[in-house]
Structure 1
Amino acid sequence: MSSPLLNGAINHPHFPFHCFGLLVDHLFDDITVSGIGKRRVRCGCTFGAKKGNPERPFGKVLVSWDSKSLASDGCPDNWYGVSCSKGSVTSITLNDLGLVGDFDFPVIAGLKMLRNLSIPNNHFTGTTTVQVGSIGKLEQLKYLDLRSNGFTGDVMHLLSQLGSVGYVDLSCNQFIGSLDLGLSNSSFVSGIQYFNISHNSLDGAPFSHDGMPYFDSLRVFDASSNQFVGKVPSFNFIVSLQILRLGSNHLSGSLPEALLQESSMVLSELDLSLNQLEGSVGSITSVTLKNLNLSSNKLSGPLPAKLGHCAIVDLSNNLLSGNLSRIQNWGNYVEVIDLSSNSLTGTFPIQTSQFLRLTSFKVSNNSLEGVLPPVLGTYPEIKTIDFSLNQLNGFLLPSLFNSTRLTDLNLSYNNFTGPIPLQPFPNIPFVGSVQNLSLASLDLSHNSLTGLLPPEIGEFCSMAHLDLSNNHFEGGIPDILPDGLTMFNVSYNDLSGVVPENLRSFPDSSFHPGNSLLTFPSVPSSLTNVPNMSSRGHRSHMKSAMKAALIAGLVGGASIIMLVAIMICYRTHQQGSKSNSLKGDGERKGAQQEIPSRPAHHKNVDPSTSCSSPHDHTSSSQLGSAHQLKETSSVVQRPKDLGLPELIRKNDGFSSSMSLISANPDSLKVCSPDKLAGDLYLFDGSLVFTAEELSCAPAEVIGRSCHGTLYKAVLESGHVIVVKWLKEGIAKGKKEFAREAKKLGNINHPNLVSLQGYYWGPKEHEKLILSFYINAPCLAFYLHGALRQAAEELLMGGFGDEFKFDLVSWKKVCRPLEVEGLVIRRVIDCKFGVDIGVWKSKEGRHPYAVGVLKLGEETERRTLPPLSVGERFKVAVDVARCLNYLHNERAIPHGNLKSTNILIETPGLNALLTDYSLHRIMTPAGTADQVLNAGALGYRPPEFASTSKPWPSLKSDVYAFGIIMLELLTGRSSAEIVSGNLGVVDLTEWVTSLASKNRSIECFDKLILGAQNLDDMLQVALRCILPAPDRPDMKTVFEDLSSIVHEPATTGVEQ
């Protein structure tokens, strides 16, 4: 029986596409179709509503497809999606109906007059390899749309059968093979006008058999999001081509200049993004090219001197350098400019007044200096400006805040000074009404702005996102800030006074650390304040609430009593009806017995940053949530069973979710199917469910990291998945996020935990990435113990600044010591006991204790057998093999390599890497947090200290891998501070010093002393932590390790 898909459907027991079977039966009875006998289409289709419900799309089919409703010529009469002409079916259009099952091509092939076959956005499956031979009989077919289904097989088996078809869309399926149209029907090549094979798994060099075929009529060619390699094919002589999309592949070589030059081509859109193209971008002289996307390649050199007639130009995420002033020569056609994440220098040119059509201008994450040019505020159509992560200085432009078109302004991570230049709006003559001010997102964080927060900010009625953190603002917070704010942050300033009432629903992290004189009222002024205060732990006792309710009136009190009764009844019903909820240890064990085993390597199961297993209550993923009492104290509780959608609520970021959980965990068990109302995208057919099913899935918190909160959710089908709910503000825009996430989802390797999908919600905080759950501990458990790993994950990576304490010198932590009411009972050489003192390095060599996590007696210690030397070598080779694949086959760094992101799967101790390349879907600020987290745990390379914008690279991966090897060889933690004859040094200094004195035997873990090849492995590790220019690449490291352990140096992926 098929699983319900999309619209939450139930199976229809008598619809193996039987209505269409009746259609075909009558066609064959009443219409002359030679050579075809009666057959029924075996599609096993599933509809998602009651039979005959015309309100749903599939209901139209069920209602209208009646075997008695036939025209006089035997053709269907008013059957939904079926058109006839002269007694023959000419068109079948079943778009977006949520149909499920195997599609039987041979039966469709019997409709010889069929001109249109359109079945997109369903869940049909089937392989073209076996069934497609008969589709060649559709000689009249002109339009074929199979997109967004689950069809498989070699794409050439299908294309070679097609005749003179004008429109073919095979996108978003699972087709494989190479693209050799020289082997296809010549009439297909000459007649095709629209050809889309994007988002499949095609590989090889396109058109490698006979070269580029001569397309007479081709206008649109989309082969993006596949695995093509080689150079970009030459499309010079396809004079009709208007749109060419080859993004998200592995194409290399230089950029074909002919595509950018004025010629006989009429190309209007060119997308070569997310490849490995190198070289420079010359002047663009084409007068037809309007949309150019060359982002995420390896292009270098200066910006193009001319843009021709381009309206949209995306050159972001390359290696472009030189002065930004070259844009002053670009024409007045440009509407969108994105030059983010390059190495551009210089200042903004002041002679750019020609940009009268410019709507979006992004140059974030470069090395620009100087002040903002006054002309910037004169662009009449500008809507988005992002100059973040540069070195700009000076004052802000008042004209930017007076624009009636500007919606998004991001100037964060610069060196701007002075106040926010907002004046009372009635004094501005050219602003007719404050309602015309459209600014919806303002990010001025991480600058040096001063002064008071102007009350005029409240005039921006559309404002939803306001980040003024990490500046030097003083005074109070205006009382009239917009009520529609969904994100608000003023932490790390010098504000004082009382938080306005309409802002009290935001988490404490929106105001603190910093702002030591900024307070919340100790007692709510009225009963209506209670819900806002509860989200930060400012709850009143029940008796106070009841008194306030009585004062408010008997009606209000009765309403509260009724609401409580309803919630209790609903919770009791939920507990009794969901037998597969994760209610306790015993039920979790029972549930795990029914969870399917991990599929093949391309369908891995991913706990992401977590190192948890269902029975491991000492890991970071199972330690539960802390209720923040003050900025300097916390109490850790056991995990609760939580309904996923209620964990993150409006205006409550991830920092506040801990308070919600511990304050009233039972209130979070309500499952609301409409909580997730956005777009759910699954990368392949190994997981099939809807956003509604995900909303209703029982879930529990299993970990937190710098990326967000991690949940384990049990779907109705029995599959257990991991949901990483990203922190608000760290995800890129929807288009970039989708493009990068899909590319990451196409990466599969035996030693890699692959992403399975993502969810993009309508609200800022609703960004999720999905993967299978895997029951395996991480490397940190084996080497350092569960408590040690838990401390790092919860306090170093998970909660960040919320749980920082006053700095205490390491040397003083040698006896019980009270820190803000919490006691560090013992810390011995960074080894953690039942009460854990958590530390991290500051300024390189001066360690401090910065946090305390006290675990109760009920927490059981996880005991794992120590890894043998052979097992440690295997882990090193597995990790190196996977990194070699990422670096040399995919050309992307992992970016977040650490022992807690390496799972050890049993039996066999197969190493699996998680959290790979997430920096590609994050904003620069999110990536900066990840880099800081890596530095706190000892995995950040030294070269990052000398750059203002460190970014994950292949070289930084090699350094982190070297640290992993040192952990394997020494048994010590990456961030461990070692005391001894050498003084107080970190792990790398300690090992390097001993090795230089031929005393390396002293650094090896005593459990593996005497084993062979330890010195050879150590030498590989030491080379990995050399300065960046001397560091080997991952291919060399992998080959060296393979030779030491006598393994063949293969990538591990079938070619």
Structure 2
Amino acid sequence: MAITFSSHIVLLILFHFLFTVQCSMSPDFQALLSFKTASDTSKKLSTWNTTTDPCTWDGVSCIRNRVSRLVLENLDLQGSIEPLTSLTQLRVLSLKGNRFSGQVPSLSNFTSLKLLFLSHNHFTGEFPSNVSSLFRLNRLDLSNNNFSGEIPATVNRLTHLLTLRLNENQFTGVIPEINLPGLQDFNVSGNHLSGEIPKTLSGFSESSFGRNPFLCGAPLEKCEAEPKKPGSEGAIASPLVPTVSSSPSTMPTTTTTPKSKSHEKRASKMNPVVLLAIIVGDVLVLGIVCALLYCYFWKNYSSKSKERKGLKLFESEKIVYSSSPYPAQGGFERGKMVFFEGEKRFELEDLLRASAEMLGKGGFGTAYKAVLDDGNVVAVKRLKDAQIAGKREFEQHMEVLGRIRHPNVVSLRAYYFAREEKLLVYDFMPNATLFWLLHGNRGPGRSPLDWTTRLKIVAGAARGVAFIHNSCKSLKLTHGNIKSTNILLDKEGNARVSDFGLSIFTGPSPNGNRSNGYRAPEAIDGRKQSQKSDVYSFGVLLLEVLTGKCPSAVDNGGSGYGGGVMDLPRWVQSVVREEWTAEVFDLELMRYKDIEEEMVGLLQIAMSCTAAAPDQRPRMFHVVKMIEDLRGVEVSPCHDTLDSVSESPSLSEDACGGTS
């Protein structure tokens, strides 16, 4: 027994020795330790020790035992980053919010670097010269430091650059002609730059150039013939003080007319205080007159504008809502409003009188916001080019859709059927769509969609789609048009799935290519939508949430994916195959801590949903469970009944018997 125990001890010691040797043999191990010794005076890097694998240290990620990602933000690190320059396989380096100082050392070894964030430090010196050789760089953030000198024109060598932030530094001189077609985020505000803004950068917002008092040109004020330069203010003579030569011999001889002499005489006699009072008085009088005219004309214009707008909306919506519901000719059946749950809330005439606002156009028609006379607000969708076999089939299908009630599904309240017009009335959702939250107002001033909210939205949307799939087993209902514009948010911020169950009315037509980028491979060639194709579309939606990329962007040449035509799932798969998963994620998510495991987990769910073979994709019920398992997301009230619709209090198998 003693021998066995001793042998175990020896093996443990040997294992520990071999592991320490292996770590010490890592090409990047010593560099990281040297960096920690020099920079971590506050002892924040507590997991960085010689007894553990450096690839498990906080902020360190590796590929094939080489450091590929180093994210050390807001850790009060200081000194120089020189020891890190030997990490030749780095792809992401983020040192934001520390106290690093001095000049940035040569970064020419970082040939694989794609993301470089050095903002909110104390770096000095000129623009790092070697940065221009990092040809793979996508994001460069040097903001909130003490860099000085001029911005070099060599930044044009960074042909893959998407972000260039140099704001809040001490840069001087003119902005060079920067011609980077992929540049999305540009900011040089808060420097000492001068001259005219290059036309290639005039498309960025005014905030990108603010607090540079000597800059001019679009989007700032138009440049004068001779733009102001730093230090030239004192050379401008006051118009109220005559210019006097220092020597009578150098005074120029000019011919003065009697008129100019009398003008000079009056000007010399006029007290500057009186002149200033006259100018101020004129300005005040002019301001009062302008204000009165503005109020008078604006009141008339506003009232007339409202009348014209209301008339225009009424005329256009009358066509939309009625489409000859009261035909003068015989042989036509007058349509009627049909309400669910036995409650009749308004007549068709109420819709005709309602003020209307177009919300958007989709694959199944145009949606409108209608405000009724009693103040109620509804959403009305006009089905356009719907291929409906007959009134009975339409009514039976609407009966099925109208009985679906779930907290994550937009409820269908009523419908209208006439020979030439079909309208669907839904609950109105007052907040934005997932599409707008992800892609709207990209650029300076945007409020990014945080990770917790993204996860909550996709969890709610998954529950809604799963309930639709299980709401009528005999029909196997499908959504048929899952995309980010059809994920709406109610007043509490909960996800609501809209536009469901309408793909049955779409036949082989140009609309068959609707929502390109979301459709499953088997559905693109005109085959009927299925629940498995819904799962594929939902997987693309998850990838859209994770990457921040719009799936439909590939229709414009795929510029959002580094060039070439490639759909979002294939692009993600190609990146993951290269074992560089972190490059997939939306950069707006990099600011959030301790979410990598959840993002990778959601990425795996999305990739399983977008499997090429339909039978390899999970059911939506299982997708819900996997998403909820990521972070103990609150379980849906009907989580246990998704597989058994007969237990649902809002719908039973009897509801779909008529359409089987």
Q: TM-score of the superposition, structure 1-length normalised?
A: 0.28
Greater helix content: 2
Higher RCO (CA < 8 A, seq sep 6+):
2
Bigger Cα Rg: 2
Higher share in strand = 1
